[in-house]
Structure 1
């Protein structure tokens, strides 16, 4: 397939490399104006990818959006005019809500949503480490997306395991609840994920998860609070040494994805008039931290 990856960060670069090795024609669309971007994965060979090639974009069969959630709208909109109407668009990023914002522009296109539990770390401009094995789940966002199940097979061949999920909203909400609990807390406490397994945080985690699950249920997705709390604790344990993406963003004074994680839950809660003090307070706290930078710069 002809594949373009919008956002060659850690995750985008990891998938670009794997898809290239599987024989696909992969092109990147990154912020750097250079015509080529070189990527090395772990100890593998150095591969040069085309960057910002309109020709590649026009003939691509699949566009993978691997940006930070807050970058999606402004980066994707200008590209849509060059994309064929049949080009499949796969959103592969943390958080929820970006596709809703673009719904009018996307209804006529085949759109699929994905979630990945692979760990990836960009060591420098050209080197990516695959830091944790995970899986990729893909599912349809709209009617046209339903016809794209073969994309999961393409991915599975390149980067196993990948599965087609008939109810991708449930997978996305599951990941969202985990992110709601782990991401802002580790950012605020300036700690690794493992610290959250300490008993002193149990009640707080339970509160965050309960509220988020309640919002998921209102959004038509069946999740169970006690199961989700166990999942959160398991993820924190299995990624004990990792710093969450939000921790890294806040630590490095970069804009976080809070609007599309706890902020998404806050919006759902407002719509259904649900009280969610834990998530609201985390959301406000991260927004305050972000606002404080611009005041001091």
Structure 2
């Protein structure tokens, strides 16, 4: 069964990025799910990707629609439960679910509601997107890494997603140990998002040797013993891998948390250092770097 009908919920950076790539190939079969107020804003002000207007098809959660073969979640974690309710009319017995949210909990939350049978674990990485209001700019679209949670053999669902990404031109990597991959990406975000948000300006701030790069690495390193306590075997090799990814990014690009801070929006600090601190208390492991970053970011947010 091929993937033909696709629904996306969330028009942040990743929603626009991958929405535009899909729209270019199957424009009539892509639907953006949003509440009526957002739909009116999108239609009036436009949504732009690299200065090109994206004339997406929009539906509100109340509208009748056909069943989607694939639903992609691109919201923030604090909007996930509402998003799950919003996509109900798009869900059928064979609908596949993909989450591109940061953190280590979104697949679990989606799986608890819809079941894990058609859930494909995934992370987006390597993109250098910068979103300002309704304008998204990027030079590197990155890739979606996806696969089974913990199983070496690709499932038929994973193969359906692979075939669809081939059709629409989305770059990808298949990894059938995705629970570990998601923890590894979480470790990267704990470092790069928070350090650049508080002390830097863009990816270039942590690409050069020095205090900020060392601080980023130290924040990431605090995740390793916590992951191991959770049964996830992260190690120094994972940090080295992500340093290579970081160094390949556009130096002028910015992580999502930095963009939130600049726009004076609530950040995902609870998702990053907040989670690290909570797990540290659970296992009796000190996390001083993340505690410092948490306090710094909370202070910045309190000044809005």
Same-fold call, TM > 0.5? yes
- Quick one: distance in 2 between partners of 1:245 and 1:108? 28
Alpha-carbon deviation of 1:46?
4.8
Alpha-carbon deviation of 1:35?
9.6
Which residue of structure 1 aligns with residue 130 of structure 2?
121
- Quick one: distance in 1 between partners of 2:42 and 2:56? 6
Q: 1:252-263 counterparts in 2 under 5 A?
A: 252-263=263-274
Which residue of structure 1 aligns with residue 204 of structure 2?
194
- Quick one: distance in 1 between partners of 2:210 and 2:78? 33
Which residue of structure 2 aligns with residue 30 of structure 1?
34
- Residue by residue, what CA displacement relative to the aligned partner does 1:30-89 show, whole Å, maximum 9, x if unpaired? 341439755554366753422326333x51121100112222123323433663243221
Whether contact under 8 Å (1:181, 1:232) holds in the other structure is no
- Residue by residue, what CA displacement relative to the aligned partner does 1:151-188 show, whole Å, maximum 9, x if unpaired? 12211331342232201122212211111111111111
Which residue of structure 2 aligns with residue 148 of structure 1?
157
Which residue of structure 2 aligns with residue 162 of structure 1?
172
- Residue by residue, what CA displacement relative to the aligned partner does 1:173-210 show, whole Å, maximum 9, x if unpaired? 22111111111111111422222233223543332222
Report the TM-score, using the length of structure 2 for normalisation: 0.82
- Quick one: distance in 1 between partners of 2:76 and 2:200? 21
Over 4 Å off, 4+ runs: 35-40, 43-46
Aligned in 2, Cα 1:232/1:151: closer, same or farther, shift over 3 Å?
Answer: closer
Q: 1:8-19 counterparts in 2 under 5 A?
A: 8-19=11-22
Which residue of structure 1 aligns with residue 181 of structure 2?
171
Aligned in 2, Cα 1:280/1:67: closer, same or farther, shift over 3 Å?
Answer: same
Aligned in 2, Cα 1:135/1:191: closer, same or farther, shift over 3 Å?
Answer: same
Report the TM-score, using the length of structure 1 for normalisation: 0.84
Which residue of structure 2 aligns with residue 136 of structure 1?
144
Unaligned runs of 5+ in 2: none
Aligned in 2, Cα 1:40/1:187: closer, same or farther, shift over 3 Å?
Answer: closer
Unaligned runs of 5+ in 1: none
Are 1:270 and 2:281 an aligned pair?
Answer: yes
Aligned in 2, Cα 1:55/1:140: closer, same or farther, shift over 3 Å?
Answer: farther
- Quick one: distance in 2 between partners of 1:257 and 1:64? 20
**RMSD over aligned Cα, in angstroms?**
2.9
Which residue of structure 1 aligns with residue 226 of structure 2?
215
